[in-house]
Homo-oligomer: A and B are copies of this chain.
Amino acid sequence: MTSADDGAAPRPTLAQVAARAGVSLKTASRALGGESYVSEKTLHSVLAAAAELDYQRNAAASLLASGRLADSLGLITGDFTNPFYSALAQAVEDEIRPRGMHLSVANSRESAEQEQRVALDLAHRQTKAVITVSAMVDHREYAQLQARGIPVVFVDRPAENLAADSVVFDNRVGGRLVAQHLLDRGHRRIAFIGDYAWLPTYRQRLAGMGDVLDGSDAHWRELLRPDAHDVASARAHVRELLALDEPPTAIVAGNNRVLLGVMEEIAELEAPPAVIGFDDPEWARVLGVSVVAGEVEELGRIAARLAVARLADRTREPESVVVPMRLIARRSTARR
């Protein structure tokens, strides 16, 4: 009995079900657990008793006795309200629920310390596997989870210094697509308002743009503005860029937050610069913004599947899946 009577009705236990069905504890456990070697008759009477008592298995006891882990999967992201992350969460949930698993979400706020905290917290809660969009630059810490038998899958950002499964977009090609598209449209002054400079996604996209632009006559290195990750900082960068003597004719937004900031800032302009973004948030179509993006849902689905696959076979080689990105050209980069 706990300290205070919370007014909670005591939950029926398996023993009560067994008693009511007139069988032993273990037999009741078998029936409810769907094990074999239970006669039809017994099965029915146990199920009936359970239904009558409105019995629900005590997960804590069950987990403890069986030594299993909870059927839940943890997802660590930086910010739920970012549509990129929520789409990811949805995709993961869709994939695991049919398997009887359950999604616990945790928020790192894009902070490495916070991320480590929540990762350990998830482990502590017997989470079976963890999917992470990591804000860390080095992932050796995650070895702790792996050592405890908890598979870790890296999404969107690959694992550094750790053997683990990962799914990422082909950001380098994405960067090339963006650069080539803008070059084709005649732009020669191209600004890139990037994401956090340490982000692998950012660096890959940057490298991809370099692949194309560095061999061209376009100006862009001096128009590079890393370290924006939210609407406000993005807007500040846009203002600064547009105030230049020779302002960019095209702006590349490093993620959907930055893109929103850019769009807000140029909304009222007479002759706005061309704009293209990474990610394809739902509102991009209405605004007619061109983007280079991959399918977030696929990213989530694959991540979930990798986690499940590793749960089933821990000896498999770590797998790195790359999901393609494609260009969706809309009004914002149309020829004028």
**Does A2 lie within 8 Å of B89, measured CB to CB?**
no
A11 (CB) vs chain B CBs: closest residue: B148
Contact A57-B124, Cβ < 8 Å, known A81-B87, A286-B287: yes
**Does A125 lie within 8 Å of B107, measured CB to CB?**
no
Q: Does A6 contact B (CB under 8 A)?
A: yes
Contact A58-B64, Cβ < 8 Å, known A105-B93, A107-B90, A287-B287: yes
**Does B149 lie within 8 Å of A6, measured CB to CB?**
yes
Contact of A8 among B54, B93, B148 (CB under 8 A): B148
Within 8 A of B (CB), among A54-79: 54, 56-61, 63-64, 66-68, 70, 72, 79
**Does B86 lie within 8 Å of A80, measured CB to CB?**
yes
A7 CB contacts on chain B under 8 angstroms: 149, 314-315
Per-residue CB proximity of A1-36 to B under 8 Å, as 1/0?
110001111010000000000000000000000000
Number of copies: 2
Considering the chains assembled together, what is the distance between the CA atoms of A57 and B120 in angstroms? 11
A268 (CB) vs chain B CBs: closest residue: B288
Considering the chains assembled together, what is the distance between the CA atoms of A11 and B68 in angstroms? 12
Considering the chains assembled together, what is the distance between the CA atoms of A282 and B126 in angstroms? 36
Q: List 22 A-B contacts (CB under 8 A).
A: A2-B68, A7-B314, A8-B314, A9-B147, A56-B120, A59-B126, A60-B61, A60-B126, A61-B64, A70-B125, A72-B104, A80-B89, A83-B83, A86-B86, A89-B105, A90-B107, A93-B105, A102-B106, A105-B105, A260-B282, A281-B283, A286-B287
